[in-house]
Amino acid sequence: MLEYNVKLEGKTILVTGAAGFIGANLVKQLYRQIGENIRVVGVDNITDYYDVNIKYGRLKELEQHPSFVFEKVNIADKPALDKLFAEYKPAVVVNLAAQAGVRYSITNPGSYLESNLIGFYNILEACRWNEVEHLVYASSSSVYGSNKKVPYSTDDKVDNPVSLYAATKKSNELMAHAYSKLYNIPSTGLRFFTVYGPAGRPDMAYFGFTNKLREGKTIQIFNYGNCKRDFTFVDDIVEGVIRIMQHAPEKQNGEDGLPIPPYKVYNIGNNSPENLLDFVTILQEELIRAKVLPEDYDFEAHKELVPMQPGDVPVTYADTTPLEQDFGFKPSTSLRTGLRAFAEWYAEYYGKE
């Protein structure tokens, strides 16, 4: 177990993507765990990639905390970001702002370059010129691409991305490594595995399936249902992030007298891949239980098995051993528990059948 070397109490923490799914949950949990003795500066440019009402709803919750500050800024806007760092002087930066989604990257590549590459470069530059104790940033399980070996380990080569989204996330890790080496910036990258939960992203499969089933439409299950995903409940992701925030990789010099990059990468996943068909079965049971769908709903009539989509991979499976060894933590929320929480939120937000 690593000892914490970053104290969060009394500090300013900058969270980009704060109106996003993981970002908003992270801020909520920071206040729960650390208390009001922190200042969180939430940054988001509220893109309309999905329903902005969900984003504003998340922000409304966060603004109940007196020390929470929201700044509507695009991280690709360097002068605006630099001004933000100069004003708030964050001790810890958590970069969760990104253009998400594998399939969207096939049709809209430009938005990925702006947010995931230029935006991340601006974050690194701001950390370089401001004394930041720890930069934590979101990578993705998609960096493993078409790797055949499972479970995926952070020691594996990740040179075969199958989507531009994956390529941008791999680039983030390389850029962070270079900045850690050149400017001694402690950075930790987190490869998230299929995050789900209440108030999640409507472009994710479980959310899209729910919308379509409720509208009486047919849902398409890719690779004829033979996909396996390491579905990870958002509370588990956030718990991992908060623990990791509190230990920055140590600054030290090598034999040549030059800094060894204070740089780490971890997987945060459930370490237990689920078959997509089993996932859909549990989802439909929980949607009926939450009265989002009627008890006699005919799922077979609304289900279509189709081939694999471009950019998709057949399996994601996290090796979380380093996370367990270093932080004593392993995601463990069961699929049923997580999907029940989602179904209950959905019923409350969108109404019952």
Catalytic residues: 165
What tokens were used for 95? 């970069």
Q: Centre a 10 Å sphere on the Cβ of residue 302 and count the other Cβ atoms it contains.
A: 17
Cβ pair 40, 70 in contact under 8 A:
no
Q: What is the spatial distance between Cα 13 and Cα 28, in angstroms, rounded to a whole number?
A: 13
Its sign, for the CA torsion 285, 288, 292, 296, is: positive
Q: Centre a 10 Å sphere on the Cβ of residue 83 and count the other Cβ atoms it contains.
A: 14
> Which candidate, 187, 146, 136, 154, places its Cα nearest to that of 320?
154
Tell me how far CA of residue 18 lies from CA of 58, 67, 93, in angstroms.
9, 14, 12
What tokens were used for 252? 């030290």
Place of tokens 């979101």: 138
Quickly list DSSP for 8-77: -TT-EEEEETTTSHHHHHHHHHHHHHH-SSSEEEEEE---SSS-HHHHHHHHHHHTTSTTEEEEE--TT-
Total length of the chain = 353
